[in-house]
Chains A and B, each alone.
Chain A
Amino acid sequence: DIQMTQFPSSLSASVGDRVTITCRASQNIRNSLNWYQQTPGRKPKLLIYAASSLQSGVPSRFSGTGSGSDFTLTISSLQPEDFATYYCQQSHSPQYTFGQGTKLEIK
């Protein structure tokens, strides 16, 4: 199975900051990488699909880049509602796998 590794596992930042979360695949997955946001008690929400395509309704401060095995999710200017846990997920193999998550906390 393809292993997905996210880093950092946690991150403290302030409103207005620019933050970047990284996700690395154990093999080349081309652009088959998706990003989700989850707040406590809520179901996951798709932010980015196919590495860089913004899901409908998601604010443009979210962006994704990368291909092959290295990917990043960037939030250009943190808003209070962005403090959440973020997960990457590969869809290159039908044995889909998630990263372990990055918890974004308020500094």
Chain B
Amino acid sequence: EVQLLESGGGLVQPGGSLRLSCAAAGFSFNSYAMTWVRQAPGKGLEWVSTISGSAGSTFYADSVRGRFATSRDNSKNTVYLQMNSLRADDTALYYCARVSAVAGDFASWGQGTLVTVSS
């Protein structure tokens, strides 16, 4: 069974930094791209970033490019989202998900970790 567990969320001041982690289990981690999706309170889903299985490629939404960085440690089956220069509009529940190699869909999701950016 695929398991994804996010951690690292919390309250941070505007301009601050936070690093989220997503620990994976139940599948061959280095064979799959992983993605981060966020959902602001009462809003829709917003794709944030994707990293390839080898970590050779990363992709970012325009709203976070230059501020966020995604990385992974395949020896620890963990993907990270380093968030810098945080703004109030980054407040959201952050999910990690596994990217299907066939269709690029997200069949497996974590429960999410909440990031609140406020002074």
Contacts and interface: CB of A to CB of B under 8 A. Distances in A.
Interface of B is mostly: loop
B59 A100 contact: no
A55 interface: yes
A98 B104 contact: no
Interface in A64-90: 85, 87, 89
A50 B110 contact: no
Interface residues of B, number: 24
A43 B110 contact: yes
Contact of A95 (B61, B102, B103, B110): B61
Interface string A90-101: 011011111111
B70 interface: no
Interface stretch (B11-19, B43-51, B80-88): B43-51
Interface in A36-54: 36, 38, 43-44, 46, 49-50, 53
Interface in B51-86: 57, 59-62
A63 interface: no
Contact-residue size bin, chain A (C-beta under 8 Å from the other chain): 20 to 34
B47 A97 contact: yes
A22 interface: no
Q: Which 9 A-B pairs have the closest CB atoms?
A: A91-B104, A49-B105, A34-B105, A101-B44, A49-B103, A50-B103, A96-B47, A43-B109, A94-B59
